[in-house]
Structure 1
Amino acid sequence: MFDRAALLLSMSLVVVTGCGPAGDGAVACGQLEPRNADEVALCNGLDQAVIARVAVPEGEPPASGWPGVVMLHGSGGLFLGGDPCSETLQDQFRIWADMLTSRGYAVAMPASFYSRGFCDWTEKATVPRELDEHERLIVRTFDGVAAADWLCDDPRVDCSRLALLGFSNGASTAMMMLHEDLGAADDPRLHELADAVPGFSGGVAYYPGCGLQGELASHLAEAEVDRYYYPHAPIWVPHAEKDALLATCEELRDPQVDVIADREDVSEDRFELEVYAGADHGFDVWFTGDPQADREARVDAQARALAKLADWLSDSP
């Protein structure tokens, strides 16, 4: 059973095992144990241990296997808080997991924060000192790939039908995972994933920050076109008009994708940005300045996200 004392002991071994910088909260593969039957222990490509919560539909899978969804939490973490973190999913992810499994999808949710010894990014006193926003994006990208690999390794899952669903910081991670050429990223560690990310059919990225920590081109200069953002599969991006994170999505990434699509003569819109008037960040979870706008955005985005997933994950040719 994983507890805080075990985590502290494991952290003291990080330098010896080489699984990450001292103080980043990572522990070596094999040093974290699932707390219950709904958790699995993963090992990401950085040799870091990651716990993931998984959920599968009731009954036997179809002959072709269940489609799989990797769901990526936001800055509030996957679990309700506590010391140590609760085993209870945040309502947002519990609700989404239930909706997805009821539709016949297997779900893997990597708990990137819990696995590094804290529950909530906003509780700064508990966040490991070396885990800054850039490092967070890198390690979470590796965590997401590890979760996808787990789905692909499960014989009950059809690895040819995978999708991503991310929220806020998890949506930014989903964007990074879907980038067509991670070999063009600034951090050399991401180059290791250039040929390692499973082929996703699509992704839904709720209200992400699209800056991606400078890993790809941060402007529209033609000289940087080879470092423009371009996903290998379509992304639907429900965003909020009053969200400060909208600007880089609207003014940087959406135009970059259009430039590459024109260059490659691709008619499909690989970055479909939907901006909900009057809504604010987190409209899928809580009501902010305009409860009615948030409620309307939530209902519409949820229905459209599920429709997108159904289309991408269909077993029809």
Structure 2
Amino acid sequence: MRLSVAPIALIIAAPVAAQQVQVEEVQFLSRDGKTQVKGYLFKPANAPAKAPAVVMMHGRGGAYSSLAKGKYDATTLASRHKAWGKLLAENGYLALMVDDFGAVGHPTGFAAGTYADRPPEVDEVNFRPLHAYGALRYLQSRPDIVPNRVALLGWSNGASATLAAMADDKPGDMRKIGFAAGVALYPGCGLKKRFDKDGYKPYHPVRVFMGTADEEVSPKLCETFVARSKGNGHDIALRMFEGATHSYDTPTKSRQSVEANVTAKAATEADILASLAERLKT
């Protein structure tokens, strides 16, 4: 159900050859039936009447920059989220950045190494997928969205939420009413052992990206996770980048000073845009 739309005056600068990108602040109801979630919808200034879309789920650090200092809006989104929102919008998608940590009182996110101390309402397997589906239903209610052409993209903890959300263990025919594709960048693939017994079965294609030098999650675990699912005949693939770290696509000096991260970032962007075009535009 579409609840509210609050346009804000924010234009993200783009190269001369690229389109200008507008950002709307929106709110929608999570599929938990009670949580009002805020999001930021990136869209080309000259968007078509109806376009495909992408829901974006942040990692453990939340949606905003560490420099936000209590101001939580589109202008203080983390650089990675602004960059991806802009990239997707310039390529013809409406991209919804979801702030579900802020919705439950944790807009600043969580530091590394705090996993065991986090509250249950930020659980990436049991709760965050509900917020992702709230975002999907909201987008499907908009007249400017092609309702069956919405993908889900997440980073780190949000990538784990993406994997959980794309699992074919939900009521209804998800191939008809769910996301058209899932993209997970450097997820933790343990997923609370939810799929250890029966294996992981995504209802639509899932693509996973990560680096061998990831310092937060286990590349080996994800290799095993994806290989087992793929071996069972499911449409899932992993691209592993030698020497790339966690958050390798973040456009900050510290991350992009690593040569492997620069290479991985460019290849990931190209791969994702090609994959989304195949699933959402054809």
TM-score exceeds 0.5: yes
Equivalent position to 1:216, from 195, 213, 220? 195
Change (3 A) 1:130 1:294: closer
Change (3 A) 1:256 1:300: same
Shift of 1:299: 1.1
1:255 aligns with 2:243: no
| Rg comparison, structure with higher value | 1
- Find the counterpart in structure 1 of residue 219 from structure 2: 246
Which runs of 5 or more residues in structure 1 are unaligned? 1-29, 183-193, 218-223, 262-268
Change (3 A) 1:176 1:59: same
Shift of 1:142: 0.6
Q: In structure 1, what residue type is equivalent to 2:52?
A: P
CA distance in 1: counterparts of 2:121 and 2:193, whole angstroms: 11
What pairs with 1:258-297 in structure 2 (closer than 5 Å)?
Answer: 258-261=230-233, 270-285=235-250, 286=252, 287=254, 291-297=258-264
> In the alignment, is the contact (CA less than 8 A) between 1:85 and 1:118 conserved in 2?
no
Equivalent position to 1:158, from 142, 146, 150? 146
Q: In structure 1, what residue type is equivalent to 2:266?
A: V
- Find the counterpart in structure 2 of residue 118 from structure 1: 106
Q: In structure 2, what residue type is equivalent to 1:272?
A: A
Equivalent position to 1:86, from 49, 52, 72? 72
CA offsets, 1:4-27, max 9 Å, x none?
xxxxxxxxxxxxxxxxxxxxxxxx
Superposition CA RMSD, Å: 2.8
Q: In structure 1, what residue type is equivalent to 2:195?
A: L
Which runs of 5 or more residues in structure 2 are unaligned? 10-23
> In the alignment, is the contact (CA less than 8 A) between 2:124 and 2:164 conserved in 1?
no
Identity of aligned residues (%): 28
Shift of 1:301: 1.1
What pairs with 1:111-150 in structure 2 (closer than 5 Å)?
Answer: 111-123=99-111, 131-132=119-120, 135-150=123-138
Q: In structure 1, what residue type is equivalent to 2:219?
A: L
CA distance in 1: counterparts of 2:107 and 2:7, whole angstroms: 15
**Greater RCO between the two (CA within 8 Å, min separation 6)?**
2
Shift of 1:79: 1.5
Equivalent position to 2:29, from 36, 43, 61? 43
What pairs with 1:97-116 in structure 2 (closer than 5 Å)?
Answer: 97-116=85-104
Whichever structure has more strand as a proportion of its residues is 2
Q: In structure 1, what residue type is equivalent to 2:108?
A: D
> In the alignment, is the contact (CA less than 8 A) between 1:80 and 1:119 conserved in 2?
no
CA offsets, 1:123-178, max 9 Å, x none?
59x99x76148734322111100011111000110011111111111111111111
